[in-house]
Each structure stands twice: as structure tokens, then as C-alpha cells.
Amino acid sequence: MEEDNNTKLAKIAQSLIPIGKGILAADESTSTITKRFELIGVPSTEETRRQYRQLLFTTPEIEKYISGVIMYDETIRQKSDNGESFVSILQNKGIIPGIKVDGGTTPLRVGSSELLTIGLEGLPERLASYYELGARFAKWRAVFTISDEFPTSECIEKNSQALALYAIQSQQAGLVPIVEPEVMMEGSHSQERCYEVTNQVLLQVFKDLEVQKVSYPGMLLKPNMIVPGKSAAMAINPYQTAQKTRALLETVVPKEVPGIVFLSGGMTPVQATENLNAMNKERALWQLSFSYGRALQEPVLKAWNGSRGNESTAQEMFLERARLNSLAVVGKYDSKMETMS
């Protein structure tokens, strides 16, 4: 008897969160990766972007620590030097290909500094084409800025409704949705204010997911951790971050959601790993893992620097950061490991 769609989705979701593995977010838009390349003095062309993503995907043994890769539209269609598709390279390593499907952000309304994530128009057709290309999960990111007056209830509600519509349409297309409501680190807000806003956002998100009848076992949540703003006087404390983040998630996230894969936001690679490790010092209701972009790639970009001759060194850096985060997933990371050769 053929499995129903929800059963298939639940199996894919579980395959993305095995113990000790996480997800690489390599889905930077062209404008975002161009900014990253500018920092290392590398021109951003379709070819340099292809070379860089090829470096990541062909890193030997990365499948020990990485379960899935989120790609950008350009990337999922690209091939390696020898003509093998990136999708095939990942599949042959047992890594699940994923795709970013939102269309970026636009002002919530004219004159507003708040942002609304767009991309629902034509989404079912795009999801079907990505499935044909080999994607088995998708991602949609909504962003919420904290200030004295932000986020507004309008911003939370409209972004949440879009996230829920994306999620159900993804599931209907056979793709596991990663639901990413990101409360941004920019600002001088306190950790308590981050908790308050993240609570508001997640309550609304799960209310709308319920309205759309999204199957919780066939989705993953990608939230921010509860940390103070980048400009706040308060330093990020891994223990406090873990306590506050877990406390919030345990009051808001349904236990049927199989896994939570944290975003790294504006944290440094080490902070992201330390916080994830602290989160996994105690058993949680869900598998707590990572879906990091910058926190896995920042050292890799610097080591690569656009040169083919640096690729093996850059791959070693990538493998090491993935390994350290794998240890953090099981609560066995120690910051002293950062200095080990």
C-alpha cells in the first residue's frame, strides 16, 4: 500500500534531524552572497558563486555532520566541473537537497521600515518544479525587527499568514517546509524584549499553521535564539540563552513538531556553537539542531578567498565547523576545541 503524503513528509523531516547532524543554509540570494564576496575581495559572478558552492558540496565526509542543504534557485540548477548536478552530488552523499522559495522582502506598506516577505504568487508551480529538480524540503524566512514600536501586530500577522500559506502549499507539493520566523538581532534591546517579541511571533505563527491545517510531523521550525540585541550592553551568555530559549519553545511549540533547527542570525560561529551546545545539555521535547549559514561559512569564505589553490584548506575549515556543531547537537562541544589543531 502506498504511503500517504503526510507519512512521507514525516519521514523526510526525521531524515533531516538525525542525532548529530544539521542543515547547511547555502541559500544566500545573489545580492547577499555578493556582499559576502565583497568582504573578501572576490567578484560575484555566476561562475565564482558556482565554484564556491561546489567547494562546500564536494567537501569529503561532510555527510557525517550535514543532513540537508538549502539552496538558492541559481544553485539548484548548477553543475560541478565534471558536469554532475549539485543535486546529484548531494544525493549521492545521502544529503537531502532543499530550496529557498520566498521572494525576499518588500516594505510592509509605503513608507514603512518593517518588511513583508513575498513570493506566494506562482508558488505552487515553483514548488512542483523544484520537486522535479530533486528538492525534498523548502524554506521561507520572515523577518521581524525589534524597537520600542516594532514589530507591529500588522507585521506579525501578515508575515505569519504568508508563512502558513507557504507551509501548506509546500506540503501539498511533497516538500517539508522549514518555517523560519526570524526576530532580528539588530538593535539594543534586552534579552527579555527578545523573549517577549519571539513569543508574540511564534504564538501567531502556530495559530496560522493550525488554520491552514499544516501537518506538524512533516515540518521543521527554524527560529532565532533568545539573545540580547547586537548593540545591547549585555553579552551573550550560553547558559541564559539556552534557559530562556528552551523555556519559550516549551510553552509555544507543539510537541508534534519533530525538530527545531536554529538560525545563527548575527552570532559569531563560536557563539552559535556554544549556544546550541548549551541548549542540548538537557533533553528536550524535540531534536534541537542547526540550520546555519554564516556560522558555518564565515571561516570558509575567508580561507577560500576566491582561489582554487585554497579550496582544500577551506574545505577542512568547513568540515571542522560542521563537526563542532555536530558535537553541540549532542551537548559534547567544548570551546577549548576551537584552539585544537
Q: Which residue has cell 534557485?
A: 73
Q: Quote the cell numbers at residue 145.
A: 525587527
- With respect to residue 339, please indicate whether it lies within any of the assigned structural domains: no
Confidence of residue 233 (pLDDT cuts 50, 70, 90): confident
What are residue 26's phi and psi, to 5 degrees?
A: -115, 40
Which residue segment(s) compose the domain that 321 sits in?
Answer: 5-334
* Per-residue pLDDT, 234: 85
Rounded percentage of the chain residues whose pLDDT exceeds 70: 99
- With respect to residue 11, please indicate whether it lies within any of the assigned structural domains: yes
The structural domain count of the chain equals 1
Average pLDDT score over residue span 293-315: 97
- With respect to residue 182, please indicate whether it lies within any of the assigned structural domains: yes
Confidence of residue 322 (pLDDT cuts 50, 70, 90): very high
Average pLDDT score over residue span 177-200: 97
| 107-146 per-position pLDDT tens digit | 999 999 999 999 999 999 999 999 999 999 999 999 999 9
Residues 36 and 301: beta-carbon distance below 8 Å: yes
- With respect to residue 340, please indicate whether it lies within any of the assigned structural domains: no
Least confident of 174-178, 230-234, 293-297, 315-319: 230-234
pLDDT for 1 beyond 90: no
Average pLDDT score over residue span 257-284: 96
Least confident of 43-47, 194-198, 231-235, 279-283: 231-235
Average pLDDT score over residue span 37-66: 98
* Per-residue pLDDT, 3: 80
* Per-residue pLDDT, 341: 39
- Between the CA of residue 257 and those of 74, 179, 196, 327, what are the distances in Å? 30, 11, 22, 23
Average pLDDT score over residue span 42-68: 98
Which candidate, 165, 168, 172, places its Cα nearest to that of 216? 168
**CATH number of residue 268's parent domain:** 3.20.20.70
pLDDT for 339 beyond 80: no
Average pLDDT score over residue span 197-205: 98
| Catalytic site positions | 180, 222
* Per-residue pLDDT, 235: 86
* Per-residue pLDDT, 2: 58
Q: What is the SS3 assignment for 153?
A: helix
* Per-residue pLDDT, 312: 97
Residues 18 and 7: beta-carbon distance below 8 Å: no
Q: How far apart are the first and last CA of the chain?
A: 52
- Put simply, whether the predicted model's pTM sits higher than 0.95 gets the answer yes
Task: Name the β-bridge partners of 140.
Answer: 179
Q: What is the 3-state secondary structure (H, E, C) of the chain?
A: CCCCHHHHHHHHHHHCCCCCCEEEEECCCHHHHHHHHHHCCCCCCHHHHHHHHHHHHCCCCHHHCEEEEEECHHHHCCECCCCCEHHHHHHHCCCEEEEECCCCEEECCCCCCCEEECCCCCHHHHHHHHHHHCCCEEEEEEEECCCCCCCCHHHHHHHHHHHHHHHHHHHHCCCEEEEEEEECCCCCCCHHHHHHHHHHHHHHHHHHHHHCCCCHHHCEECCCCCCCCCCCCCCCCHHHHHHHHHHHHHHHCCCCCCEEEECCCCCCHHHHHHHHHHHCCCCCCCEEEEEECHHHHHHHHHHHCCCHHHHHHHHHHHHHHHHHHHHHHCCCCCHHHHHCC
- With respect to residue 128, please indicate whether it lies within any of the assigned structural domains: yes
DSSP 170: H
pLDDT for 189 beyond 70: yes
For the chain, the average pLDDT equals 96
* Per-residue pLDDT, 110: 93
Question: What's the CA gap between 257 and 334, in Å, rounded?
Answer: 29
Question: What's the CA gap between 201 and 181, in Å, rounded?
Answer: 7
| 132-186 per-position pLDDT tens digit | 999 999 999 999 999 989 999 999 999 999 999 999 999 999 999 999 999 999 9
- With respect to residue 341, please indicate whether it lies within any of the assigned structural domains: no
